[in-house]
Amino acid sequence: MIRSPYLLYLGHSNDEVGIKTSRGLAVFRPEACVGEFRHDDCGLTLDLPRMTFAEAVAAGAKTLVLGIANAGGKLGDDLVRDAIAAIEAGLDVASGLHNRLRDEPSLVAAAARHGRLLHDVRDPRPDLPIGTGKPRAGLRLLTVGTDCSVGKMYATLCLERGMRARGLTADFRATGQTGILIAGSGVPLDAVVADFISGAIEQISPARDDDGWDLIEGQGSLFHPSFAGVSTGLLHGAQADALVLCHDPVREHMRGLPHYAMPGLAETLEANLRVARLTSPDVRAVGVALNTSKLTTAQAERLCADTSDALGLPCTDPFAMGVDPIIDRIIACFAPSSRVATLTH
Amino acid sequence: MIRSPYLLYLGHSNDEVGIKTSRGLAVFRPEACVGEFRHDDCGLTLDLPRMTFAEAVAAGAKTLVLGIANAGGKLGDDLVRDAIAAIEAGLDVASGLHNRLRDEPSLVAAAARHGRLLHDVRDPRPDLPIGTGKPRAGLRLLTVGTDCSVGKMYATLCLERGMRARGLTADFRATGQTGILIAGSGVPLDAVVADFISGAIEQISPARDDDGWDLIEGQGSLFHPSFAGVSTGLLHGAQADALVLCHDPVREHMRGLPHYAMPGLAETLEANLRVARLTSPDVRAVGVALNTSKLTTAQAERLCADTSDALGLPCTDPFAMGVDPIIDRIIACFAPSSRVATLTH
Does the pLDDT of residue A1 top 90, yes or no? no
| Same domain (yes/no): A165, A71 | no
Cβ-contact B11, B78 below 8 angstroms:
yes
- CA B288 to CA B110: how far, in whole Å? 47
- ipTM score: 0.84
Residue B1 lies inside a defined structural domain of this protein: no
Chain B CB within 8 Å of residue A197 CB: yes
Q: How confident is the model at residue B17 (pLDDT cuts 50, 70, 90)?
A: confident
- Shortest CA distance from B219: residue in chain A: A195
Residue B226 lies inside a defined structural domain of this protein: yes
Residue A134 lies inside a defined structural domain of this protein: no
Nearest alpha carbon to residue A176 among A193, A188, A158, A194: A188
What mean pLDDT, rounded, does chain A reach?
A: 93
- CA B316 to CA B322: how far, in whole Å? 7
Q: A232, A253, A273: best mutation site toward chain B, by most B Cβ within 10 Å? A: A232
Residue B125 lies inside a defined structural domain of this protein: no
| Same domain (yes/no): B41, B159 | no
Q: How confident is the model at residue B342 (pLDDT cuts 50, 70, 90)?
A: very low
- CA B320 to CA A208: how far, in whole Å? 50
Q: How confident is the model at residue B339 (pLDDT cuts 50, 70, 90)?
A: low
**Burial (0-12, 13-18, 19+ Cβ within 10 Å), B345:** exposed
Q: What total of structural domains would you count in chain A? A: 2
Cβ-contact B204, B187 below 8 angstroms:
yes
| Same domain (yes/no): B57, B197 | no
Kindly state the greatest CA–CA separation across chain A.
68
Q: Give the distance from residue A281's alpha carbon to the nearest chain B alpha carbon, in angstroms.
A: 12
Write the CATH number for A169.
Answer: 3.40.50.300
Nearest alpha carbon to residue B25 among B201, B178, B206: B178
The residues pairing with B37 across neighbouring beta strands, listed in sequence order, are B9
pLDDT digit string, tens, across residues A121-135: 888 988 999 999 999
Residue B110 lies inside a defined structural domain of this protein: yes
- Shortest CA distance from B257: residue in chain A: A132
pLDDT digit string, tens, across residues B54-107: 999 999 999 999 988 765 556 888 999 999 999 999 999 999 887 889 999 999
Q: How many beta carbons lie within 10 A of that of residue B103, not counting itself?
A: 11
Residue A2: per-residue pLDDT? 84
| Same domain (yes/no): B89, B148 | no
Torsion sign over Cα A278, A280, A281, A287: negative
Q: What share of chain A has pLDDT > 70, as a percent?
A: 96
Residues 23-52 of B with CB under 8 A from A: none
Residue B70: per-residue pLDDT? 63
Chain B CB within 8 Å of residue A273 CB: no
Torsion angle of C-alpha atoms A38, A40, A45, A50, degrees rounded to 10: 60
| Same domain (yes/no): B281, B170 | yes
- CA B71 to CA B86: how far, in whole Å? 24
Nearest alpha carbon to residue A178 among A201, A159, A152, A215: A152
* Domain enclosing residue B187, as ranges: 139-344
Chain B CB within 8 Å of residue A276 CB: no
- Read off the amino acid at residue A175: T
| Same domain (yes/no): B184, B59 | no
| Same domain (yes/no): A186, A290 | yes
Residue B130 lies inside a defined structural domain of this protein: no
Residue A74: per-residue pLDDT? 67
Average of per-residue pLDDT across A269-279: 98
**Domain limit, last residue, from B76, B91, B120:** B120
Of A117-121, B285-289, B327-331, B341-345, minimum mean pLDDT range? B341-345
Chain B CB within 8 Å of residue A194 CB: yes
**Domain limit, last residue, from A92, A120, A148:** A120
Residue A128 lies inside a defined structural domain of this protein: no
- CA A144 to CA A153: how far, in whole Å? 10
Write the CATH number for B21.
Answer: 3.40.50.720
Residues of B295-324 as b/e, b for ≥16 C-beta within 10 angstroms? beeeebbebbeebbeebebbbbbbbbbebe
- Read off the amino acid at residue B135: P
Q: Check CB contact under 8 Å for A225 and B191.
A: no
Residue A223 lies inside a defined structural domain of this protein: yes
Residue A335: per-residue pLDDT? 81
Average of per-residue pLDDT across A131-149: 97
Cβ-contact A245, A285 below 8 angstroms:
yes
| Same domain (yes/no): B211, B276 | yes
**Domain limit, last residue, from B87, B120, B153:** B120
Cβ-contact A188, A217 below 8 angstroms:
no
Q: Check CB contact under 8 Å for A195 and B226.
A: yes
The residues pairing with A7 across neighbouring beta strands, listed in sequence order, are A35, A64
Task: Please state the length of chain A.
Answer: 345
pLDDT digit string, tens, across residues A152-201: 999 999 999 999 999 999 999 999 988 988 887 899 998 899 999 999 99
DSSP of A73-121, one letter per residue?
Answer: ----HHHHHHHHHHHHHT-EEEE-SSS-GGG-HHHHHHHHHHT--EEET
pLDDT digit string, tens, across residues A289-298: 999 999 999 9
Chain B residues touching A133 at Cβ < 8 A: 225-226, 257, 259-260
Average of per-residue pLDDT across B172-187: 89
Chain B CB within 8 Å of residue A277 CB: no
| Same domain (yes/no): B295, B326 | yes
Question: Helix %, strand %, coil % for chain B, to 5?
Answer: 40, 15, 40
| Same domain (yes/no): A242, A95 | no
| Same domain (yes/no): A253, A292 | yes
Q: Check CB contact under 8 Å for B194 and A191.
A: yes
